Structure 1
C-alpha cells in the first residue's frame, strides 16, 4: 500500500524536513509526499484511496490501533492511503466530511510542518509494529 502524505505549504530545507525524510526512508512500504500551496491547488485523485485528514477534532489513536487500521486496509487491498495535512486554517468542511478518518495528535494545535514529522514517525512506527520490529515499546516501563 502507498502511504501518501498530502500537505499544504512548502517545507523546504528545515529541521522538520530532515526529520520527516529520516522516518520516511526507514519505511519499507511505498511512500510519497505531495506539497500543495497554502490555498488552492488540486488534491491528488482519490480513486479508491482511503483518506485520513489530520484535524485537532479528530480521533486520537494509540499507535498499535493506528497500525491495526493500516494493516486491515492493506489486507483488504487498499492500494493507497492519503494523509491530508492542512495549512494554518485547516481543511474545508467538505473535505473533513468525506474523509475515511479524522485523525488527531491530541487537542492541541500543532504547527503543520511539525505534523509532517510526527506523522512520518507514526507511519514508521505502524509499519514496524505490523512487521514485528522492536522499535515500538508499548507497555514497557523504564527502570
Structure 2
C-alpha cells in the first residue's frame, strides 16, 4: 500500500527537511517487507493566493483516486501510536492501494475537503505549525511500520 503525504507549501532545506527525509527512508526500508510503501511527499503551492478553497483544489489533484483520505485536523481523533498502526494495517489488509495523509496550510483544510476524508486525525489539542506536522506525521508513519514489524523502536 502506497502512502502519500499531501501538504500545502514547499519545505525548504533545513532541519525539518532532514528529519522528514530520514523518516521517509526508514519507513520505506521497514515497510517494504510489510507491503507498505513507498512513502511519497506531494507539496502543493497556491501561488495565486486563493485561500483554503484553492489549496483544497490543489490537494485534491495530489490525492490518488480511491485513496483512503486521512485529514490532519485539530478537531480530529487522537490515536495512540499502536492504534494508528492498526488502522494502517487494516487498510493494507483490506486491499486499499493508497493512503493519503492531507495537511492543509496555515488556515487548515477547507471544509469541503475535510468532509471527503475517511478519517480526521489530530496530534492533540494544541495547534502545530503545518511544516512541523509533516515531521511528526512522517515519524508516526515510520513508528507504525516499526510496530507492525515487531521492532523495538516503539516501547510502551
TM-score higher than 0.5? yes
Per residue, is there more helix in 1 or in 2? 2
Unaligned runs of 5+ in 2: 32-36
Output one character per residue of 1:80-114: Cα deviation in whole Å (capped at 9) or x when no partner.
00000011010111111110000000011100110
What SS is found at the alignment partner of 1:78? coil
Aligned to 2:41: 33
- Runs (4+) of structure 1 exceeding 2 A deviation are 38-43
Cα deviations by residue, 1:1-57 (Å, 9 ceiling, x for unpaired): 111000101111021111111111001331100001155362324421000000000
TM score, norm. by length of structure 1: 0.92
1:84-123 alignment runs, 5 A limit: 84-123=102-141
Give the drift of 1:62: 0.2
Shift of 1:116: 0.4
CA distance in 1, matches of 2:149, 2:107: 36
Deviations 1:93-142 (A, max 9, x none): 1111110000000011100110000000000000011111110002xxxx
**If the length of structure 2 is used for normalisation, what is the TM-score?**
0.85
What's the counterpart of residue 82 of structure 1? Answer: 100
Cα–Cα, structure 1 residues 46 and 63, in superposed 2: closer, same or farther, change >3 Å? same
Cα RMSD, aligned residues only:
1.2
Corresponding residue number in structure 2 for 1:13 = 13
Unpaired runs of at least 5, structure 1: 139-143
Cα gap change, 1:25/1:104 in structure 2, threshold over 3 Å: closer, same or farther?
Answer: same
The yes-or-no answer on 1:49 pairing with 2:63 is no
Counterparts of 2:4 and 2:65 in 1: how far apart (Å)?
13
Any conservation in 1 of the 2:63–2:100 contact (CA below 8 Å)?
A: no
